[in-house]
Amino acid sequence: MTNMKVAVDAVVFAYINKELNILLIERAFEPFKGKLSLAGGFINENETADQAVIRKLKEETNVKLNYLEQLFTFTDVDRDPRERIISIAYYALINPTNHNLEANIHAKDVNWYPVSKLEYLPIAFDHYKIINYGITRLKNKVIYEPIGFELLPKYFSMSDLYDLYCAILGNNLDRRNFIKKITSFGLLKKTKFKTKGHIGRRAQLFEFDQKKYEKLKLNGFKFDI
């Protein structure tokens, strides 16, 4: 037990081309050189797990997080071929247009991969298990907390929002009922902007009212899709 180490791993989600994507690095060194894995690494003696995962993501991928939450601790004895390593896993949500990916440190390459293609990818360690845990958490939480807006640009159309929820939940929501319910919360502010480049009628763009949501939550408001 004296040789046991503690690491962090991050399941970072993005919404790209109407699909939910995961951030993965191509490992530059053994074990599993050339295979894909989550960004992460060991916790230093002078930092918390939260600080470590933020540092490792910046070092390996150049990604800076807005929304980060601890997911689960994975303790299987044989999860790493080197030695006994416990992983504190996190999941994060970002808008990829705000980040320029850059592979550094232990990463040969870094890229986004559609969730729908994960089963065909050479994923190292137990990271496929960790990713699936993160997907389940996201699907459950997006229903009762408006965290999905973290994946969208600041201004978005109603179609953007609907397509996002369909991508996360993996099913075709009733569009009419979804829009009726989401607008009934009063959390979407109309902006002066509309979609560009469309032939015909341009769609209205909205902005999520985070301040109003926080005030409503203090008074017992429940976000429920």
Task: Round to whole Å and give the CA distance between 178 and 184.
Answer: 10
Supply the pLDDT for residue 110: 97
Report the mean per-residue pLDDT for the chain: 94
pLDDT classification of 105: cutoffs 50, 70, 90: confident
Return the biggest CA–CA distance within the chain.
67
Supply the pLDDT for residue 133: 98
pLDDT classification of 200: cutoffs 50, 70, 90: low
Average pLDDT on 142-155 reads 97
Supply the pLDDT for residue 64: 85
Supply the pLDDT for residue 196: 82
For 7-21, what is each residue's pLDDT tens digit?
Answer: 999 999 999 999 999
| Percent of the chain whose predicted confidence (pLDDT) is above 90 | 88
**The pTM of the whole model exceeds 0.85:** yes
Please, what are the domains in the chain?
A: 5-143 (3.90.79.10), 152-218 (1.10.10.10)
Supply the pLDDT for residue 66: 81
For 32-87, what is each residue's pLDDT tens digit?
Answer: 999 999 999 999 999 999 999 999 999 999 998 889 999 999 999 999 999 999 99
Average pLDDT on 131-153 reads 97
pLDDT classification of 198: cutoffs 50, 70, 90: low
